[in-house]
Each structure stands twice: as structure tokens, then as C-alpha cells.
Structure 1
């Protein structure tokens, strides 16, 4: 908060705004970077400084910042029908059109869409749907979810329970729902010495099966997973993982919930990551890039089998007693339709594949051999660098996260916004990014990286 006047926006932020996922005392000392506007892959602060947004906001701004077509779509809908709900047989045209579009573009067995306002709300909804479904079938004990360590599925009480990150549980008394967390499928960190990816995947599938047997298959309702794990460190699954996990789930009648809040709508170079990894979900959860986060929106897509059981139960008890005031919001769904048009018309899924190959190649060329880089990983336009104190032993820095935070801070100096997940540096730029812009993004990052590495204490 350099030279901020007492009545400046920076000082007012510190006085009045309580920030998400932030050390509040550190924020009091340093203050915010106030972002005023955006254009394409860039955002600009209130002093006019330009940054390449290498995280697409929060993994989410597919079409870039300042896209006039989305503003126009919102304005047109605001003039026509600024709000309506979806309770008690009411609907609106944009919500109907978006539901149809999502069903048609998603994996084949999914036939109905339910709208929420965030990924957290959507995963809460998925939990409640699974419980409602099993209660309708008289399977009142079949309630436990299985998630993974390092997974991120949201931050509300229920979805936060599914999340497998300690900082999202600590001092919140989570988890609070019946959930078991199995080993994170990160081969670099969790494989045994000499264990191949296939063997590692087999061991994790056996771990899952043993847990199911121990708990009793009649108690285990669903397995939830991000196809490629995002906020836990950008972790692509090892070879054979999803095939083996799905086999266990099908064997014991366990529903598969694919959380594509980060992966969906092109991030990996396919429309959905389920396509990339051959996942056949019973429930698909979507958000973020559905509107490029220009409007809050999320969707839960369910199979016809689940829908039919739930629909029969609504007839039996009189209702599906769940929903949100702003669910199926006409402005948000209108923006989503226009956003999906842009993704399709501009070929952004293919751009993520092609330009993503450049980003993955350049990251490995520049950093894979560095003595403080343990692993470079990712698919399409999502990637991460894992920092280590010792490359040979994979020893972490002590304390974990100090170097990552130094690189994050140096990134602002050099005009690039990345994300530090402990000592893992994540990249997730807008899908519109070009090859030349990827090179510029990594040039800026490399300068920040070198600056932070140079400041490390000498052994």
C-alpha cells in the first residue's frame, strides 16, 4: 500500500473489506492491489499498471476481460427480464435454452440440468441430490462420499467437507458430512520408489476398494473427483487412474460425480475433461468458465436414471425441497449462452489444445532442469511448477510456501499474476491467449522466478 492517502481506495479497502483466502493481518500491512479494468488477457490497477492475468481471474475467464458481447447480452436481458426464479413451475427462455445446450454438449447419459450460483452451491446440490436419490430408493445408509486428499470442491459447509485441503478445514470444524478422503493421485509425491504410473493407479484403486469393503458398500454413495485436480496444485491423474477408479465404483454401485468447475469448457483442450480422460459421470458439476465469471452461475447435470428416481420421489412427497433465489437467473444464463457462442465461434477449445502445447513445452524447456524445480506438469492451458529445496530427494522448503509467496509477489513487480499454492506455482490463462502472449507471460514469470530464487539464503 505504497503512499496510500488516508481516504484512498486502498485505505478504505483495509478498513471495511474482509477478504477471502487472505491473511487478514498481512493484508492490513500491505493493502490491496485495486484492479480497475480488464482487456483481453490483461488487467490494470488503479495506478495504470498492466498485468497479464495468468490465472484467468480464478481459473475462470475463458473469453478474456472486457468482452463487449457479454456486457451487451447482459444489458439486453436486463431490459427484457432482469430477474425471475425457477420455483413452482416458473421458467425463463435463457435458462431453458442453456439447459438444452448443456445436455446436448455433455456426456451422453446426462439428461437434466439444475442451476445454482457457484461451484460450492453446485457441489452442495450434488450431495443433496445423491442423498435424496438414495433415500427415494430406500437405501437410507448409503450416504458416505469419497473424495481425495488435496481435492477442492468448494468452501461451504458441505462442499468444504468434500474439499481435501487442511487450511479449508482447520478451525471451521470440517468435515461435517460423512466423507472419507483417499490418497491424492499425485505420482511425483505419492508413488512408491520405482512405482510406475499404472502400478500407482492400481494401488489407489485397491485402496478405494478396500475402503468401500471396510465401510460397507451399502453405506458408500458417491465418489467425487476433479478429472484434473486444480486448486490442490494442478495435478493430472496418473495413467489408467480414472479407468480403474470407475471400475471399482461400478462394481459397488457408487455414483461418479465429476467436478469440472475448473476443467470444463475447454481448459484441457477438449470441451470437458471427462472427454479427455474417458470418464462417464452420473453427475457433472460446472461453473466458472460457463460465463467466464462475468455472472455467477453453476450447473449440475444428472443422468436420466437419477432424475427418474428423484422425480418419482417429488410426486410421492410433494416437492424437491431445494433451490436458490437466483438459480436459473435469466441474466446469468443469457450471458452463459453468449459466452458459449464465443468459445465455439473463436475455436477456443482448439486454441487451448494448440497454444496449451506451446505453454507446456516452454514451461518444461525453461524450468524442468532447474535445481529448485521438482516437477513441471499440466494439460492444455493449465499447468504448475513444483518448487523443491533439493531436486534429488524432493525435499520441500522449510517453511513451505515462503518461496512461492516471494515469486507471487515478484510476479506483480514484473506484470504477471500467477497463483502460489504453497510452493507450487499455477498457470491458467484465458483461453483466448495466443502463442506470442504465452511467450510474453512466461518471460515475465521467468524474471520474477529468477529474482525470487536469487534472494534465497545461500546454504
Structure 2
């Protein structure tokens, strides 16, 4: 590494294995070490300032260093720093948070079950769905359908529902019983001459064909993000979710809405399910639930899901599932305060108005020589990069163009994320139009520099 032997970067590279990272590259180069954050900005240890246009990992909704969340954590830490919810115990923050979540649901829901991360929540949902099928006397009804490019986490079961090759390769995933149908990405996967409506109808047909081929009595649930996030910011075409739900209802298959990225205002409504007219049986919540100040996630389910599970716990004498930190009182207290701030400051309104401005500014970059498609909704967007717009192709190795562009944009002081060759944007929901303009201007500078390096006019 080109750093002093005792620098924080060198120390990290010697002892720390990072997620989603080339381990050998990290050993050679060391990481960028962030030291502090405030509002939409973060600073690294050298003092360089960045706009965090990914809100960390799609998650710091109310921005960095919010005093009210710091105070909520300190107050709860002093009062009851830890307790569990096992064996008919509870605590006030868990009760308050569960009540808030049930009250804000876009469809009638019955119960909340707390976990610690989106992956953990989705992994737990798999077990709940299997448990429910057994309770109903349908032990064969266990298969779960996800989508190509869908992202639902990285544990063994949630990673199996995820539809991305890097999360499967060399991990021996997906497990048997986890199926995948096509993604709703019209620009990339629409056939020549096919309209968006025809494409949506084809995806719905393909789902039904998969269900019939496997046997409807073997399919328990379908999981999907309202808008796909980590698979490349993919907005479903009109009519897609309506058609998908018609098929699921026809064959008595549960719908799981993974709201980990979409939830709590990101799309301009409280939940992506509202934005895309979904009526889920189960919802997965995390990230912006606490603005990721502390780890917490939640599973929210309707009575159709809950009642058979409850009956089975009565028959067996208990529910053999739970986590030591699930519904942690300090994390729950922070989440309660976080949700209050989202409501009080009308961050949904900001996501709509400033989000529209962000979509407009990024749409202006669609004519850039490197941009194949701009897509997004509210305060989440993606720019898919190409070298050949007609062929929709990038560099020989997938992801290289995105990596080059993201590095150049990072050098300008904007944190984005390259998902393959798509640059993703998901800034804190407190971002202003002026800060969006700064992001867009610096993204253009980074794209121009990338084009110049590649000899593209």
C-alpha cells in the first residue's frame, strides 16, 4: 500500500475483511476510512468532504448526526440498555414501535415480529412461511419464488431468494425450493417491438407458467421489492404488480413485499407498496426504520399469515424462533424517534418534491455518451452506463465501466454506488434541491472524465 505503515487505512487492511469487497485489492490499497457525518455529508480521515448520495446503504433517511436520535439512544441506554422479547416478556420501546408500524401500514396488518437486519428478517419469513404451511396441513407447499435481479439479503435462505449471481456463485446457492422468474426491466429485457404493457403481460404469463410447471400446491410465497434497489434500481412497468397479484391470488400464494429499501418515504409514499399498488400479506422493514443509526428490522404480517402460525404455537407450546437482539430497546427507541421525525418534517413531501427535481436533473444526463438509461422514482434513481447505446453494451468485463465512473465521481466528492454498470443514487431524504444540483453537476464532471479516459467524445 502507498500509505504509512501505521496509517488507519493500513491497519484496517491488515486485520479487517470487508463485505462486498475484493479482499486482495483491499490488502493492496486499503479502504477509504470515514470519520464523521452531518446532514447529507460525510468526511474521511483526511478531512475530505463528500455528499453521501447513497445515504450510506440506502438507509440514513434523516441524515447523519441527528441530535434527537442521539438523545433517544442515550436516554434508553440509561433506563433499560437491554431486554428481550422471549417467553412473554417485552419492553416499552418495542410496544410503541409495533403500534406505530401497525398504524401506518398501507393494508390491514395484524402483528409485528422484530429482527436485526433485512437479511435476518427475510430469512425468518422463510421459516414462518414453512411453519404456516405445516400448520395448515400442507407440508408440500414450501417453494418460494423470487425474481432475477431481486435482492433480499445474504443469509442462506434470504440469499437463495436473491436473484443475483454474485450472491450465489461459490456459495452453493440457491438452495432447492427457491425459484426465480424474470425481472421487470423493460429497457434491458423487452423484446423488439414489444410495448411496456406487452412486456408486463409477458412477465405475468411467465410467472403463471412457472407456477403451473412446479405445481401450484407446492408454491407458498412470492417475494419482491416494489422497486428493485440493489439489483440496479429497476422500476416496474405499469400494470406489472396488478398482474402479478392476480396470478398469486388465483393460486393462493402469499405476497411478500420487501420494503427494506423502499420503505418509510423513499419513493414519495410511506411504502413502495402504495406507490406501486401492492397489497402484500407480509412486509419486510429495515434500513430507514431507524435511519440505520442502530440495527433493527421488522416483519409485519396480516391475519392470513399470523393465525395459522399462532395456532401451531398453541399446538406445540411455543414458537421456536427468535434473536437475542430482536427488538432491542435502544434500537426500538431510536426507530420510534426516527419515525416521528419523518412525519414531523414531512420528509415524504420532500422525497416527492426534491425527488422530482433529482429525477429531472439526472434525466438531463440521459443524453451523455455514456448513459444508456436513467430510471427511478422519488429519491431513488439509477443511471445505467454503456459504450454502445444501440447495442446497450458496456466494457468487455461487466461492471468495469460502472466502477470507473463511480471512482471519478467519488473523486469529485459524491458517494454513489456502482451496481454492475448502473450508478445508483439514494440520498438522505433531507436533501435540498441545491444539494441535488451539486450532485448532478459533479456526476456530469465524473462521467465526462470517464469518457475522456476512454477516448469517447
The answer as to whether partners of 1:158 and 1:177 remain within 8 angstroms in 2 is no
Residue in structure 1 matched with residue 35 of structure 2 by the alignment: 36
How far is the alpha carbon of 1:422 from its aligned partner?
A: 1.3
Does residue 419 of structure 2 align to residue 447 of structure 1?
no
Matches within 5 A, 1:5-404: 5-365=4-364, 367-404=365-402
SS for the counterpart of 1:11 is helix
Q: 1:280-304 deviations in whole A, cap 9, x for unaligned? A: 0000000000000000000000001
The answer as to whether partners of 2:354 and 2:432 remain within 8 angstroms in 1 is yes
Q: 1:377-400 deviations in whole A, cap 9, x for unaligned? A: 000000000111211222232122
CA distance in 1, matches of 2:107, 2:272: 14
Are residues 314 and 413 of structure 1, via their aligned partners in 2, closer, same or farther at CA, if it must alter by over 3 Å?
A: same
Q: TM-score, normalised by structure 1?
A: 0.98
RMSD: 1.0
CA distance in 2, matches of 1:92, 1:455: 57
Q: 1:104-156 deviations in whole A, cap 9, x for unaligned? A: 10123211000000000000111111111110000000000000001100000
Residue in structure 1 matched with residue 431 of structure 2 by the alignment: 433
The answer as to whether partners of 2:369 and 2:451 remain within 8 angstroms in 1 is no
SS for the counterpart of 1:368 is helix
Are residues 434 and 254 of structure 1, via their aligned partners in 2, closer, same or farther at CA, if it must alter by over 3 Å?
A: same
Does residue 416 of structure 2 align to residue 422 of structure 1?
no
How far is the alpha carbon of 1:207 from its aligned partner?
A: 0.5
The answer as to whether partners of 1:234 and 1:382 remain within 8 angstroms in 2 is yes
CA distance in 2, matches of 1:138, 1:109: 25
SS for the counterpart of 1:337 is helix
CA distance in 1, matches of 2:304, 2:397: 49
SS for the counterpart of 1:300 is strand
CA distance in 1, matches of 2:134, 2:208: 23
Unaligned ranges ≥5, structure 1: none
The answer as to whether partners of 2:42 and 2:49 remain within 8 angstroms in 1 is yes
SS for the counterpart of 1:338 is helix
Deviating beyond 4 angstroms after TM superposition, the runs of 4 or more aligned structure 1 residues are none
Q: 1:203-236 deviations in whole A, cap 9, x for unaligned? A: 1111011111111110000000000000000000
Q: 1:412-457 deviations in whole A, cap 9, x for unaligned? A: 2110110001111000000000010100111122111111111014
SS for the counterpart of 1:110 is coil
Single out whichever of 22-31 and 75-84 deviates more from structure 2.
Answer: 22-31
How far is the alpha carbon of 1:458 from its aligned partner?
A: 5.8
Unaligned ranges ≥5, structure 2: none
Q: TM-score, normalised by structure 2?
A: 0.99
CA distance in 1, matches of 2:456, 2:335: 51
CA distance in 2, matches of 1:26, 1:385: 26
Q: 1:213-264 deviations in whole A, cap 9, x for unaligned? A: 1111100000000000000000000110000000000000000000000000
How far is the alpha carbon of 1:34 from its aligned partner?
A: 0.6
Q: 1:182-201 deviations in whole A, cap 9, x for unaligned? A: 11110001111111111111
Single out whichever of 56-65 and 409-418 deviates more from structure 2.
Answer: 409-418
How far is the alpha carbon of 1:370 from its aligned partner?
A: 2.0
